[in-house]
Structure 1
Amino acid sequence: MSAELEFGLDTFGDVTWDAEGVPIPQARVIRNLVAQGVLAEEVGLDFIGVGEHHRADFAVSAPEIVLAAIAGKTDRIHLGSAVTVLSSDDPVRVYQRFATLDAVSNGRAEVIVGRGSFTESFPLFGLELRDYEQLFEEKMELFTELLTQKPVTWSGEHRASLTDQMVYPLLESGSLRTWVGVGGSPQSVIRAAHYGLPLMLAIIGGAAERFAPFTDLYHRALEKFERPTQPIGMHSPGFIADTDEQALEQLWPHYEAMQARIGAERGWAPLTPEHYREEAGPHGSLYVGSPETVAAKMAAAIRALGVNRFDLKYSNGTMPHEQLMRSVELYGTRVVPLVRDMLAS
């Protein structure tokens, strides 16, 4: 497993604070994100994913442009979304943007399509939430047709039909690595298998082991649909510092504030220090601590689920850029080698 295993980073472009606790402009957040992507390559990571949001606490609404900026300063690291909210986008434009990113990055583009965990894009682009399921089904069907690089004939209720339509630019390699992001729905797992696309599990609460039935379902569904074996990845939040206590103390105020802000919108109970420590423990979804602690927890999750890629969601609310850079550095230089050693043994 270790020879095929990839390690990535994900960020939503959270608006961060400076050293004095003052929010920095969104433009500077985006420039800092580019620097984080460059560092990710320098420390040997395989992938960086940038999320799409349309609200004040996240700076990135056009991930492909940010990824193209990173592409211009790197040579090896793969570049993708985390996730592309396909339901509220146009599949033709999504294909064209990522095909263009693939060209300028010399074949390093990936896309993770999903429905997203926020819904601000629906009213922004004139869509109705009552069409949530049908929008994704239709647009997923069209997008997978576009990936074939052949003339597309398609019709649906929420987009103009296409008849024998070629869409450009063509992909130089003939394929675009496309993952389906899944938060916890068996139907979404089966959908990914139906289209024969890699599966990315967003594990943001509780133990990774509870997702083992999903990986089993995915393998069985691929077999049923007579699809070839595909990679499985997992995405979870975390933060790395030199010691466990330093990591826990630095992350807490930013993570707690983020949970409170989003929780107020969704009716969540306030995050307590006890719950925070539980999620940061061996059976939670937070990969926070020293390199040794995080590596041990990651290795256990990778073994339990048999995943081929681990993406650490390293941005956590208002955490300063300098702390994020240190976390990225430790992840690439310390955590990843430790995990590979643990799995090899």
Structure 2
Amino acid sequence: MRNEEGFANTGFEIGLYTLGDLVPDPFSGKTISARQRMKEITEAAKLADEAGLDIFGVGEHHRLDYAITSPSVVLAAIAQMTKQIKLTSATSVLSTVDPVRLFEDFATLDLLSDGRAEIITGRGAFVESFPLFGYDTGDSAALFSENIELLLKLNENEKITWDGQFRSSLRNADIAPRPLQQKLPVWVGVGGTPNSAARAGRLGAGMAMAILGGDPARFKPLVEVYREAGLKAGHALENLKVGVTGHGYIAETTQQAKEEFYPYYSNYKSIVSQQLGHGEGRMSRFEFEKVAASDTALFVGSPQQIVEKILHQHELFGHRRFMAQLDIGGLPFEKVAKSIELLATEVAPVVRKATRKENVLVGV
């Protein structure tokens, strides 16, 4: 599919990401093991690759209710099972990971995968990694700011001399191995703050927006801030890449998708609310119908509904990539697999065709 059409490297990219949550099934109350979750994640990546999707990402959490603490290790395993799909973190918690270690791990992944590695960085929603690795949560913003700048310098140079506040200095240090790609693609995950968007633009990194619900139009100012800051810093517009990430579920009809997904999405919302200390927060069916409406950013519905939502956001943002998180709240793997199939065979070809003319005209 990708090779015949030629969309994989030049067109609109569509893929998946997972955080590997370990939560009780809302019907049985049982939670699968971390081992089983890993098997399902790697199988999902294999399915996505075989179906012609463009990118697969895994998140990073340091809690017992998530299966993935080391994205590079999981992606290295996936690299051996796949052939074409790009592999990224989603996200690497850069406030508490050493940038040199992160770069070396993903440069190694790039060599193992024949040039398919990327990094999406972020600050993360949880704070467990701070005491775990000896950092102060009060330094989160400063740590991220320093570490993203160092990461980008490592990406540019085989040897580096550098001084910072939070880690030991580097003096003509070898940064090895070098990736197969000339540089690793680096993105910054942005949740909704203009300052984060502006920083991503100034640095010339890609911007991956997490749009998890509501009216997507509220994110349009972030894209404008990002591109304005990037152009002001001297970066070419074609290098200022925007991606959208969001929750989703696809079935043959929109009604079927809602019926099947609601118990698991409500389960997810309740558990995450508890994890963040906000109480149980279980979502009613009435509330779900509102957040899953056709004009919202929750990607739940038939293939046609998902196409319409992606293209509507493309009109707003002019972005080049969409990544769906399909496996939340204890959703059984057979339902995830069917959703992957529909995304790859009925959504992706339509979106690629609809955006192809524009991509050719701008030379993307």
Same fold (TM over 0.5): yes
- Structure 1 residue 341: deviation in Å? 4.0
Question: SS where residue 220 of structure 1 aligns?
Answer: helix
- Structure 1 residue 31: deviation in Å? 1.1
| Residues 306 and 347, structure 2, Cα contact 8 Å, conserved in 1 | yes
1:192-271 equivalences in 2 (<5 Å) = 192-229=200-237, 230-264=240-274, 265-267=276-278, 269-271=281-283
Question: SS where residue 331 of structure 2 aligns?
Answer: coil
Alignment correspondent of 1:66: 74
Q: In the alignment, residue 230 of structure 2 is paired with which amino acid?
A: L
| Greater shift in the superposed pair: 95-104 or 134-143 | 134-143
Match 1:123 to one of 131, 135, 151: 131
Deviations 1:132-151 (Å, cap 9, x if unpaired)? 11111111121111011232
Alignment correspondent of 1:37: 45
| Residues 107 and 173, structure 1, Cα contact 8 Å, conserved in 2 | yes
Q: State the alpha-carbon separation in 2 of the partners of residues 141 and 22 from structure 1.
A: 43
What is the TM-score when the length of structure 1 is the normalising length?
0.95
Q: State the alpha-carbon separation in 1 of the partners of residues 329 and 28 from structure 2.
A: 15
The answer to whether the aligner puts 1:330 opposite 2:338 as a matched pair is no
The answer to whether the aligner puts 1:90 opposite 2:98 as a matched pair is yes
Q: State the alpha-carbon separation in 1 of the partners of residues 163 and 184 from structure 2.
A: 23
Question: SS where residue 102 of structure 2 aligns?
Answer: helix
Identity score, percent? 38
Q: State the alpha-carbon separation in 2 of the partners of residues 17 and 321 from structure 1.
A: 14
| Greater shift in the superposed pair: 138-147 or 82-91 | 138-147
- Structure 1 residue 16: deviation in Å? 5.9
Alignment correspondent of 2:332: 320
| Residues 149 and 174, structure 1, Cα contact 8 Å, conserved in 2 | no
Q: State the alpha-carbon separation in 2 of the partners of residues 129 and 17 from structure 1.
A: 29
Alignment correspondent of 1:273: 285
Question: SS where residue 53 of structure 2 aligns?
Answer: coil
Q: State the alpha-carbon separation in 1 of the partners of residues 176 and 68 from structure 2.
A: 25
Question: SS where residue 218 of structure 1 aligns?
Answer: helix
Question: SS where residue 234 of structure 1 aligns?
Answer: strand
Alignment correspondent of 2:187: 179
Structure 2 gap segments, 5+ residues each: 1-6, 358-364
- Structure 1 residue 28: deviation in Å? 1.0
What is the TM-score when the length of structure 2 is the normalising length?
0.90
Deviations 1:148-192 (Å, cap 9, x if unpaired)? 123211122211111121210012232101111100111111111
Q: State the alpha-carbon separation in 2 of the partners of residues 343 and 208 from structure 1.
A: 19
Q: State the alpha-carbon separation in 1 of the partners of residues 45 and 196 from structure 2.
A: 29
Q: State the alpha-carbon separation in 2 of the partners of residues 259 and 305 from structure 1.
A: 27
- Structure 1 residue 217: deviation in Å? 1.2
Q: State the alpha-carbon separation in 2 of the partners of residues 284 and 58 from structure 1.
A: 27
Question: SS where residue 110 of structure 1 aligns?
Answer: strand
Match 2:316 to one of 279, 299, 304: 304
Q: State the alpha-carbon separation in 1 of the partners of residues 198 and 224 from structure 2.
A: 11
Deviations 1:182-240 (Å, cap 9, x if unpaired)? 00111111111111111111111312111111111111111111112221111011011
CA RMSD of aligned residues (A): 1.8
Match 1:81 to one of 89, 92, 102: 89
| Greater shift in the superposed pair: 282-291 or 105-114 | 282-291
Match 2:301 to one of 289, 298, 317: 289
Question: SS where residue 87 of structure 1 aligns?
Answer: coil
Question: SS where residue 147 of structure 1 aligns?
Answer: helix
How many correspondences in the alignment?
A: 344
Alignment correspondent of 1:52: 60
| Greater shift in the superposed pair: 148-157 or 285-294 | 148-157
Q: In the alignment, residue 124 of structure 1 is paired with which amino acid?
A: L
Match 2:12 to one of 5, 25, 35: 5
Q: In the alignment, residue 267 of structure 2 is paired with which amino acid?
A: A
The answer to whether the aligner puts 1:168 opposite 2:176 as a matched pair is yes
